[in-house]
Chain A
Amino acid sequence: MSVFTAILIGLASGIVFGFALEKSRVFEPGVILGQMQLRNFIMLKIFLAAVVTGLLALAVLNGLFGIKLHLKPLLFKADIIGGLILGVGIALSGACPGTSMAQAGAGYRDALFVILGGIAGAITYGYLDAPITAAFAEPGAKVSFDTMLGMPFWLTAVLLAAILVAFLAALERMTSWRTEIGSDVDGLMAPKDADVPAGKTHHA
């Protein structure tokens, strides 16, 4: 495929992606920080809804049409240490790499600094990649839950999707996304409501 075609496909997918990120409000620092403080679950809701859809789409693409999956290898040290560092960055940025771009598009100016910092971090990593990869080296097999369970991919994917849907239904029953989204759709609930002790919350 030519780079030009790839860029057109990327732009089209990205515009849909950015549109959905903006509409869902998951790009809001208030939503992301609220998730990390375990008081706003919109981020988990959209994340798991995307995972469920992906599971079902891939169950069909892989199970019916034989389209190849692209698993990343299981690297305990790199996954845990890298994941922890990434999480610290997500909390300080109020963004993840994709949503920082949505923040910039929606008008948050500090997102430009997150993006510049991200580019600087990526450049720094690039220079240090050889020693870091050597330090964290592991055989790194491509381990997946379906092979661990000895079940077909499509069946495991459909079962996990069903479990996640049940979990999402319970999560939504606990707190509706309409409450969590806040009056200015930025994930911020009124401070006095947010500070009411758990036992005294009322359901509107």
Chain B
Amino acid sequence: MPALNDRAWSPYVAGVVIGLLQIPTFYFMNTALGASSSFVTVGAHIATLFDSTAANVKYFASHMYGAKNWWQVAIVVGIALGAFLSMKMSGARRQTISPVWNRALGQSTLGARAPIAFLGGFIMLFGARIAGGCTSGHGISGIAQLSAGSTLAVAAMFAGGIATAMLMRRI
């Protein structure tokens, strides 16, 4: 039986738990599970601090207020909280950066890693907003709804990810 203080669960148990979250999401929120548009909600509010006209940008305005936008921000904040709790309970504390970065890119310090991490995050969200979803919205939710567009977007995600990872050193 999977226990709350285990260091690792079977991917099948964890996958089922994540898939079951579609039930409260469709039932209470009348939407599908997603993550990437929360970055727009937070980003739009940050943009207004630097640009008084940012709230007039249609894309920002549609993401700034309302139950669904703040629900998704709460989801990603909850993800960080849940991962923190799980790590505390199992004691699977992580180092500053994963040792995989030394193997893949020769990066062993946070200083060396930070610029690529920032760039990676930037590209990731920019692409997700063009595609209109990420691994959650297009992936877990879109394919579960038999969406052709989401399946295409996920295939492209893996193609882009595989092509880029293959240029790195084998981990």
Residues of A whose CB lies within 8 Å of any CB of B are 1-3, 5-30, 33-39, 42, 45-58, 61, 67-76, 78-111, 113-127, 129-130, 132, 136, 140, 142-146, 148, 153, 156-157, 160, 168, 177, 181, 185-188, 191, 194-195
- Tell me, rounded to whole Å, the shortest Cβ–Cβ distance linking B143 to chain A: 5
- Tell me, rounded to whole Å, the shortest Cβ–Cβ distance linking B161 to chain A: 4
Residues of chain B at interface, number, CB under 8 A: 138
Q: Tell me the nearest residue of chain A to B57, going by C-beta.
A: A126
Q: For the complex, what is the distance from the CA of A107 to the CA of B162, rounded to whole Å? A: 26
Main secondary structure of the interface of A (DSSP, over half): helix
Q: Which 3 pairs of residues, A with B, have the shortest CB-CB distance?
A: A14-B78, A87-B160, A49-B15
Residues of A near B153 (CB, < 8 A) are 79-80, 82-83, 86
Q: Are B152 and A79 in contact (CB under 8 A)?
A: yes
Q: Tell me the nearest residue of chain A to B63, going by C-beta.
A: A126
B1 at the interface (CB under 8 A from A): no
Within 8 A of A (CB), among B107-157: 110, 113-157
Q: Are A29 and B100 in contact (CB under 8 A)?
A: yes
- Most chain A CB atoms below 10 A, which of B10, B92, B146: B146
Q: Are B140 and A54 in contact (CB under 8 A)?
A: yes
Number of A-B contacts (CB under 8 A): 567
Q: Are A160 and B146 in contact (CB under 8 A)?
A: yes
Q: For the complex, what is the distance from the CA of A191 to the CA of B94, rounded to whole Å? A: 19
Q: Are B19 and A116 in contact (CB under 8 A)?
A: no
- Tell me, rounded to whole Å, the shortest Cβ–Cβ distance linking A36 to chain B: 3
- Tell me, rounded to whole Å, the shortest Cβ–Cβ distance linking B13 to chain A: 8
Q: Are B159 and A98 in contact (CB under 8 A)?
A: no
Q: For the complex, what is the distance from the CA of A54 to the CA of B8, rounded to whole Å? A: 22
Q: Are B144 and A82 in contact (CB under 8 A)?
A: no
Given contacts A17-B75, A109-B110, A86 and B6 within 8 Å (CB-CB): no
Q: Tell me the nearest residue of chain A to B82, going by C-beta.
A: A18
Q: Tell me the nearest residue of chain B to A43, going by C-beta.
A: B11
- Tell me, rounded to whole Å, the shortest Cβ–Cβ distance linking B124 to chain A: 3
Q: For the complex, what is the distance from the CA of A202 to the CA of B147, rounded to whole Å? A: 40
Q: Are A143 and B164 in contact (CB under 8 A)?
A: no
